[in-house]
């Protein structure tokens, strides 16, 4: 057994524990009989556990992608319905942190993608935005030059220039550990985007600042 395999199966196990913790916390916080001294601390707990779970999930998926055990299940989806699920996954968490959270999409917009994989990407972009936003996060979708663009924006200070200039586009790309960030989320996003193909066109990701909101903006372009 290779070390990577041991790692993968352990991650699997840890994730199961985290799942249990998350669901139990959700349940506890939802119960009016639960008494918590400092609600803020509970929210931090919930948020960080979510983040850890998300990172492990991405690690697992990257592992499988590298071993070519994942092929995207691309179907036509109504994007509005899809974003509604993205919001449903994150709403509770962001509400409790007093972050204004909204989404914007033409109800008739449809796109071709693997909903599970892209949901994972947007979740992690939202968790990231939460770390840097002042008090607002917005998710949106639109068609642009025949590509479906999904955006996650915040009103924080924005991405530093070096990150915008050096967005990874696939697994072999430059993960710059010098910045102190593993860029796991971006690597994962880039890989998922790349797996989406139409004809000769692969999907890609980009970062920018001050799109609709003042802060950073994560973009995923899908063919």
Positive or negative: CA dihedral 160, 161, 166, 167: positive
Q: Which is nearer to another protein, 17 or 212 (CB)?
A: 17
Residue 73 interacts with another protein (CB under 8 A): yes or no: yes
**Candidates 9-17, 130-138, 155-163, 210-218; binding stretch for another protein (CB under 8 A):** 9-17
**Candidates 35-43, 104-112, 158-166, 205-213; binding stretch for another protein (CB under 8 A):** 104-112
- Kindly write out the interface string for residues 157-196 of this chain, putting x where it contacts another protein by CB under 8 A and - elsewhere: ----------------------------------------
CA-to-CA dists, residue 105 to 78, 84, 140, 202, 222, angstroms: 10, 10, 6, 23, 16
Nearest to 115 by CA among 66, 89, 148, 78: 78
DSSP code of residue 179: G
Residue 212 interacts with another protein (CB under 8 A): yes or no: no
Six-digit token string for 19: 């799942």
**Candidates 84-92, 128-136, 175-183, 209-217; binding stretch for another protein (CB under 8 A):** 84-92
Size of the site for another protein (CB under 8 A): 48
Question: In the range 107-136, which residues lie near another protein by CB under 8 A?
Answer: 107-108, 110, 112, 116-117, 119-120
- Distance, in Å, from the CA atom of 164 to the CA atom of 167, rounded to the nearest integer, reads 6
CA-to-CA dists, residue 69 to 61, 76, 189, angstroms: 9, 22, 17
Kindly report the number of other CB atoms within 10 A of residue 198's CB atom: 13
- Distance, in Å, from the CA atom of 68 to the CA atom of 70, rounded to the nearest integer, reads 5
Residue 89 interacts with another protein (CB under 8 A): yes or no: yes
DSSP code of residue 209: E
Residue 66 interacts with another protein (CB under 8 A): yes or no: no
Query: According to CB under 8 A, which one of 1, 2, 3, 30 is a site residue for another protein?
Result: 30
Question: Which residues are near another protein by CB under 8 A?
Answer: 12, 15-16, 18-20, 22-24, 26-27, 30, 53, 57, 60-61, 64, 68-71, 73-78, 80-81, 84-85, 87-89, 91-93, 107-108, 110, 112, 116-117, 119-120, 197-199
């Amino acid at each position: 057994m290779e070390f990577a395999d041991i790692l993968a199966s352990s991650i699997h196990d840890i994730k199961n524990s985290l799942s249990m913790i998350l669901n139990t916390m959700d349940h506890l916080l939802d119960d009016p009989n639960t008494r918590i001294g400092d609600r803020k601390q509970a929210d931090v707990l919930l948020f960080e556990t979510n983040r850890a779970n998300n990172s492990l999930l991405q690690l697992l998926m990257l592992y499988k992608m590298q071993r070519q055990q994942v092929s995207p299940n691309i179907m036509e989806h109504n994007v509005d319905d899809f974003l509604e699920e993205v919001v449903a996954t994150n709403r509770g968490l962001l509400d409790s942190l007093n972050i204004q959270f909204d989404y914007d999409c033409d109800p008739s917009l449809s796109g071709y993608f693997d909903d599970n994989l892209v949901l994972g990407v947007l979740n992690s972009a939202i968790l990231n935005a939460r770390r840097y936003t002042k008090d607002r996060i917005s998710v949106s979708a639109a068609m642009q030059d025949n590509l479906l663009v999904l955006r996650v924006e915040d009103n924080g200070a924005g991405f530093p220039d070096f990150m915008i200039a050096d967005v990874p586009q696939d697994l072999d790309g430059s993960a710059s550990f010098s910045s102190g960030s593993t860029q796991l989320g971006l690597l994962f996003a880039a890989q998922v985007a790349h797996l989406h193909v139409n004809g000769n066109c692969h999907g890609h990701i980009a970062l920018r600042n001050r799109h609709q909101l003042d802060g950073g903006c994560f973009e995923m372009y899908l063919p």
